[in-house]
Structure 1
Amino acid sequence: MSLNLRIILSATTVLIIFITLTAAALNRAFVESTESALRDNLTSQLYALLAAAEIVDNEILMPSNELDALLGLPSSGVYATITKQTGQVLWQSSSALGTILPPVEVLQSGNKRFNKRSVDTQNYYSFSYGINWITDSSTLALTFTITTDLVSFNKQITEYRTTLWGGLLAMAFLLVISQAAILRWGLTPLRQVGIELSNIEHGRQQQIDQHYPQEIEQFTNNINKLLQQERDQKTRYRNALGDLAHSLKTPLAVIQSGLNSNSETDASAQEQITRMNSIVEYQLQRAATAGTSSSAASLNVKAIIDRMLESLKKVYRDKIITLNIEADENLSFKGDEGDLMELLGNLFDNAYKWANTQITVIAEKKGKKLSLRVIDDGPGMKPEQVETLLQRGKRADQNIAGHGIGLSIVGNIVDAYQGELFIRESASGGAEIEIIL
């Protein structure tokens, strides 16, 4: 998972939790506020009802307009009742006609109570107030009740929730989009570092060139130092090994010259000098092997194959060989050009030495690996010869010129690139050598 996606998902999760908690808090506050306003409204209506009521001969008289038009409109949603201590209804508003209201709770004088009740799935909110009404002849214990259904209340809550969630979701969407844009802008330097590292990996540049914010500048500087140290260390190793081989080559040549001039010199000494000279040449070649590297350039394999075969045509101009080359023009290999030329040079040189009339070269991609096959129609190799031929100084035929280090050098280069080397019999009976890098 990318860093950008991790941050966006984390921030979005936090944002969802925050918005949910905010919505819950705002919804609760609005419901409580609306319910408080409803209570205040019912309280004012009940006090107005108390002020307008008159009792004459134990009968309650109310103004014809009943204080509020809703109380005179049947099923208006606002209802008023006056009951005695026994539960007998002394009076109810015209709006209660045809409406089944929840039973009234009789209260003692001075008591107030708010209730939520349901009748036939309809919810009601009531405010009851108990009072002792004193007349000239007696005292009546009465309970005044104002009741309202919650249709308007619930509708108001639903509309608020719809508006609230719509606004919060729109805000969340804008925040996520803004956050993604800010992250994209903020992480641009890291993406650019990734592009430069990819260019280094494919050999298009040697180090990180651009300047970056101070938070990652030390990181890019350390990468450049590591790349430079890798190049310097490899150069030191190659130079040291090359210097050692060169320093031995001259004394060996002098000794060999002296031995050649002395006919009485033991033949075994001459053989050992020849072997030492071959080892020096091998080590010189080994010193020049660069191996795989993160900063190696991409090479055109077909162009190098053509160049090497053109050179060998001139060397073996007396030999008539038909060349078959199967390689894509855009086939590339990420490595050192000298290594690839040395590898192909040894394989092609062996093929020219042993081929009768035909050499086939096949280069192709196998997944992320490069496969090189060199096939000739020569005498081929016996299975028991393969292991021997991969050793330094070993040759299949002593009559053929060479030092016997060609396949050993090939094996060394293949090892440097963590590759594989296969030697098998070709379909025509000759040798087929396949290298996978």
Structure 2
Amino acid sequence: MRPKSRMRPRSLAVRLVLGAGLWIAAALAAGGYLLSALFTDSVERGFDSRLNVMIEAFVAVSEVGPGNTLRLTQTPPSSRFRQPFSGWYWQIADANGPVLRSRSLWDQALETRDAGTAGGGEGTAPFEITGPGRRTIRVLQRTISLPGSDQTYIYTIAGDIAAMDADIAAFNAALSWSLAALGLVLVIAVFVQVRYGLRPLARIEAALGAIRSGSAHRLEGEFPSEINPLATEINALLEQNAAVLKRARTHVGNLAHALKTPLAVLGNEAARAEGPLAETAARQAAVMQRHVDHHLSRARTAAARNVLGARTEVMPAAESLLRTLERIHAERRLDIALDIGSGAAFGGERQDLEEMLGNLMDNACKWAKAEVRVGAAVKDGLLRLCVEDDGPGLAEEAREAVLNPGERLDESVPGAGLGLAIVRDIADLYGGAITLEDSDLGGLRATLTLPAASAAASGPSGAKGA
């Protein structure tokens, strides 16, 4: 069964999403810092402009009276300047110190900084200090020369920046949440885009799963131009693998015919002749025939065992063998029962399955008294085939010996002694195993463990990739 597609460490999807996420975070952080700085500068400029308007208003209502005395023709309308330590203050000072100041200052004075000669109304840049009540205030000063006076005056306006800081903090909070939400949306969009962009790779994975399960023989469907060369190369590799397998099978078959015919001639000639030499020749010809069959079987299986898409359903093969063995042992009237689980399939060639299962079933039929049972089931990716009979069984110490080529413990039963050895050799080539143990029927149980074929996967959709 094909594993579910998911985000895995070291995957392309993870790399792309993480990379995009880092760039998005960096870009949003830089943008957020710039926006916050611009907003802070705008708020401070607005605050300073307000302070400057107030200074101009105080200058407009200032006049120098008799005795070079400075006075205001109008009282500032804002009540904040009359409330002690309200955070808003004004002060007019000359070289000797404060001349006039707001009631909010009470008995304190604001710091003044030298702005140089400012007959044209020049002043210092806005600055912040700790004012009355330990509040941070922003101060704007201008040095003014009034008509009718030969001295200059320093006009100072100060305002509490708590409200300005609160506005900046509220903006920064809203900006942070907004950028975080935007970042999340962008990461989700990147994730969706990456998943959509990599979908053709998932289709290739599904197609390869279909090939391994035997439901397809090549990658089908149309793929994006970036993926299409990969699909083409995979199909070429599959075709080359199939061609190599076909040539190997052809060579094995040719070798089999080239060896079996001379051996059959030698065996027939030795059988017709008499004497010790003829018997020796017949015996050695039979040994050579067994070895040829054994090693040709191994060579054929070794050539076919790694073929992608090899899949053989157990039930049709078992039913075919059952019909053959019922005809061979018809006179014994054996009860051969099949118990094949649904979906039981071998991950290999049918010829190999029939040779292994056929040898086990034939061996059971030779030794059975009346009953033979054949079962098959798939568990944890392995196919378990059990063949048991109600015959005399086999001693535990002799079970390993019968798996060796040419080993026969009872010459009265026909055979060459290669059946179980061939079964073990083919099973080994597929990474499987065979075990012999006592059967509940009273005879021998042979359990063959082989790789199960993957569940038939649906091929890739024919939709065109993006």
For residue 269 of structure 1, what is the aligned residue in structure 2?
281
- Report the CA distance between 1:295 and its aligned residue: 2.3
Cross-structure match for 1:156: 167
Match of 1:190?
201
Would you say how many aligned residue pairs link Structure 1 and Structure 2?
Answer: 430
Counterpart residue type for residue 151 of structure 1: A
**Among 111, 116, 130, the residue aligned to 2:128:** 116
Does 2:251 correspond to 1:245? no
**Residues 90 and 131 (structure 1 numbering): CA distance in 2 closer, same or farther, change over 3 Å?**
same
**1:272 Cα offset (Å):** 0.1
CA distance in 1 between partners of 2:204 and 2:148 (Å): 94
The C-alpha deviation readout for 1:76-99, integer Å capped at 9, x for no partner, is: 764312245555x432336x278x
- Residues 371 and 435 of structure 1 are in contact (CA less than 8 Å); yes or no, is this contact kept in structure 2? yes
Counterpart position of 1:106: 112
CA deviations over 1:112-135 (Å, ceiling 9, x no partner): 253223455643211134567796
Q: Secondary structure at the match of 2:110?
A: coil
SS at match of 2:404: coil
Identify the range of structure 1 (224-233 vs 212-221) with the bigger mean alpha-carbon deviation. 212-221
Q: Does 1:42 align with 2:42?
A: no
Question: How far, CA to CA, are the matches of 1:285 and 1:334 in structure 2?
Answer: 18
Q: Which moved more, 1:285-294 or 1:224-233?
A: 285-294
Local SS of the residue matching 2:372:
strand
Q: Post-superposition shift, 1:277?
A: 1.9
2:290 matched residue in structure 1: 278
Q: Over aligned residue pairs, what C-alpha RMSD do you find?
A: 3.0
Question: What's the offset of the Cα at 1:23?
Answer: 0.3
Aligned to 1:336: 349
In terms of mean alpha carbon deviation, does 48-57 or 285-294 score higher? 285-294
Q: Is 2:403 aligned against 1:390? A: yes
Separation of aligned partners in 2, 1:257 and 1:358: 37
| Partner Cα distance (2:168, 2:360) in 1 | 85
Q: Give a deviation string over 1:324-348, Cα, whole Å, max 9, x none.
A: 5443222233221221122111111
Q: Distance in 2 between matches of 1:84 and 1:97?
A: 17
* Bigger RCO of structures 1 and 2 (CA < 8 A, at least 6 apart): 2
- Quote how far apart the aligned CAs of 1:283 are: 4.1
Distance 1:198 1:294, change over 3 A: farther
The AA in structure 2 aligned to 1:314 is R
Q: Which runs of 5+ in 1 are unaligned?
A: none
By how many angstroms is 1:234 displaced?
A: 1.8
Q: Deviations over 1:254-313 (max 9, x none)?
A: 222222222135122221011112223334544543643352244332443344234322
| Deviation at residue 142 of structure 1 after TM alignment | 4.4
Aligned position for 2:12: 3
- Any conservation in 2 of the 1:356–1:378 contact (CA below 8 Å)? yes
The 8 Å contact of residues 70 and 78 in structure 1, kept in 2 or not, is answered as no
Q: CA deviation at 1:232?
A: 1.5
Query: Are the counterparts in 1 of residues 364 and 372 from structure 2 also a CA contact under 8 Å?
Result: yes
User: How is 1:55-134 mapped onto 2 (pairs within 5 angstroms)?
Assistant: 55-56=64-65, 57=67, 59-66=69-76, 69=78, 74=83, 78-85=88-95, 87=97, 89-93=98-102, 96=104, 104-108=110-114, 110=116, 112-118=124-130, 120=133, 122-130=135-143
The aligned residue for residue 270 of structure 2 is 259
Give the Å deviation of 1:356: 2.4
1:130 and 1:367, CA in 2 relative to 1: closer, same or farther beyond 3 A?
same
Given residue 113 of structure 2, which amino acid in structure 1 is its aligned partner?
L
Q: Which moved more, 1:16-25 or 1:109-118?
A: 109-118
Give the TM-score normalised by structure 2. Answer: 0.82
User: What is the CA–CA distance in structure 1 between the aligned matches of 2:198 and 2:15, rounded to whole Å?
Assistant: 12
Task: Give the counterpart letter for 2:17 in structure 1.
Answer: I
Q: Which amino acid aligns with 1:63?
A: T
- Give CA deviations for 1:53-109 in whole Å, capped at 9, x if unaligned: 22334543223253x64666748764312245555x432336x278x98x5113346
CA separation of 1:283 and 1:108: change in aligned 2, threshold 3 A: closer
Q: Structure 1 residues 148 and 214, CA, compared in 2 at 3 Å: closer, same or farther?
A: same
Q: Distance in 1 between matches of 2:397 and 2:351?
A: 31
Task: Output aligned runs, 1:191-210, within 5 Å.
Answer: 191-210=202-221
Mean Cα displacement is larger for which, 178-187 or 412-421?
A: 178-187
The letter for the 2-side match of 1:213 is: P
Q: Tell me the distance in 1 between the aligned counterparts of 2:390 and 2:134.
A: 97
**2:429 pairs with 1:423:** no
Within 5 Å, give how 1:353-372 maps onto structure 2.
353-372=366-385
